Amino acid sequence: MLSSTLAGLMSLAVTASAFTCTRQYLQEQVDKYVFMQETGQHGEFDTLSYKMVYLENNKTASILSDLPAWGLKVDAKKSILDTTLCKTFTELIITDPSHPYVIHTQMTLDEEGSVALIDSLVTDKGDWAFNATGYQYWNSLEEWAPIPESKRLSRTQLKAAADAYADRCNDTTVIVPFGTPCARLEGGAYTGRGNLTANTCNIGGLPSNVPMTNRRYVIDEVMGTVDIFLGFTGLDRTRPKEGTPDSHLFRVEDGHIRSGPNISPVSDRIVLCNERHDVE
Ligand SMILES: *[C@@H]1O[C@H](CO)[C@@H](O)[C@H](O)[C@H]1NC(C)=O
Ligand SMILES: *[C@@H]1O[C@H](CO)[C@@H](O)[C@H](O)[C@H]1NC(C)=O
Ligand SMILES: *[C@@H]1O[C@H](CO)[C@@H](O)[C@H](O)[C@H]1NC(C)=O
Ligand SMILES: *[C@@H]1O[C@H](CO)[C@@H](O)[C@H](O)[C@H]1NC(C)=O
């Protein structure tokens, strides 16, 4: 009895030390997360850490009583996988007229492959530019296929492009490597219309002297995509010194790899969570 327990413990230890963070494993965690959100059941999520922390809009919440407990009709979902940080990012669009949401979630796995943190930004009616139907419409027109292997950028390049955008919101001298075509989806508002040359993100409207703090990244070289969770200082005017939870998802494509730093975020989607002040 004792020896079989020991053998069991040893095989567990071997399994734990052998954990490798692969795309397939991360995709399985994403699938479990989406299943939980769709069904309101977390029982199948057998890789949750005992110490798992669940955050909604940067506040501690519970998968037993907050959004994952309800069962949502998901119209569209998109995920990226970061095997270096062992993190995932998932976007869920729910247009259900009884209660629409756009949800961005970053999950962080521990060294044993258990999900230790589920960090969700749940945007809702009353949040900045919130329009789940509009978001779903523009989302449905975009195709985010994997980047061909020969054209993939490094993590450093992808992160630099996304950071340039976040830095530019504070320091107007920073140059953001916007390409053409490029479109920005902010809540339900889309900048891309008309012909391709007219589709540019270089249209102004970025704030100045707004520090983007507490940045948390998910970077996927295969998808050429970076998501940053950050604090948008001063968005909520009632709390000018506090960061409002905010997610920026960038798709970076390099059409001109030989000319070096010609990096083109063709899509920059922003989910701003204004901490649910209702403006009904
Ligand atoms: C939301 O977006 C849809 C699709 O673009 C649009 O028809 C609708 O008028 C928008 N609603 C609001 C409240 O802006
Ligand atoms: C594309 O749109 C821009 C801006 O509206 C315009 O100046 C340009 O002539 C258009 N190009 C084509 C090929 O239609
Ligand atoms: C924002 O800009 C100010 C002034 O240039 C600088 O002191 C600060 O470090 C910047 N903060 C961030 C988060 O970029
Ligand atoms: C979220 O919480 C952390 C600490 O728990 C804090 O440092 C951060 O500024 C908060 N706000 C945002 C928007 O990330």
Q: What is the pLDDT of residue 88?
A: 98
- The C-alpha angle with vertex 221 and arms to 219 and 224, in degrees rounded to 5, equals 90
| Boundary-marking domain end, from 86, 106, 140 | 140
Q: What is the CATH number of the domain that holds 42?
A: 3.10.450.50
Domain hosting residue 76, numbered range: 20-140
**234 and 156 within one domain:** yes
In a domain, 11, yes or no: no
**Residue owning the nearest CA to atom 13 of ligand 1:** 131
- Measured between alpha carbons, how far is 41 from 20 in angstroms, rounded to an integer? 27
Q: How far, in Å, is the centroid of ligand 4 from the Cα of 148?
A: 36
Spell out the per-residue pLDDT of the chain, length 280, in tens.
445 555 555 455 445 567 999 999 999 999 999 999 999 999 999 999 999 999 999 999 999 999 999 999 999 999 999 999 999 999 999 999 999 999 999 999 999 999 999 999 998 887 778 889 999 988 888 778 899 899 899 999 899 988 988 998 899 998 888 877 777 888 778 776 666 666 777 766 778 888 999 999 999 999 999 999 998 887 766 666 778 888 989 888 763 322 333 344 556 666 665 543 333 2
Please tell me the chain's helix, strand, coil percentages from 3-state DSSP, rounded to the nearest 5.
Answer: 25, 30, 45
Q: Does ligand 2 have an atom closer than 6 angstroms to the CB of 193?
A: no
Contact assessment for residue 216 and residue 192, using Cβ atoms and an 8 Å cutoff: no
**114 and 153 within one domain:** no
In a domain, 7, yes or no: no
Q: Which two tokens stand for residue 29?
A: 């965690």
Contact assessment for residue 77 and residue 34, using Cβ atoms and an 8 Å cutoff: yes
Q: What is the pLDDT of residue 250?
A: 87
Residue 21 three-state SS: coil
What residues are in contact with ligand 4 under a 6 Å CB criterion? 58, 213-214, 231, 243, 245
The H or E element spanning position 11 is helix 2-17
Using the 8-state DSSP alphabet, how is residue 257 labeled? Answer: G
Atom of ligand 4 nearest to the CA of 244: 13
Contact assessment for residue 246 and residue 171, using Cβ atoms and an 8 Å cutoff: no
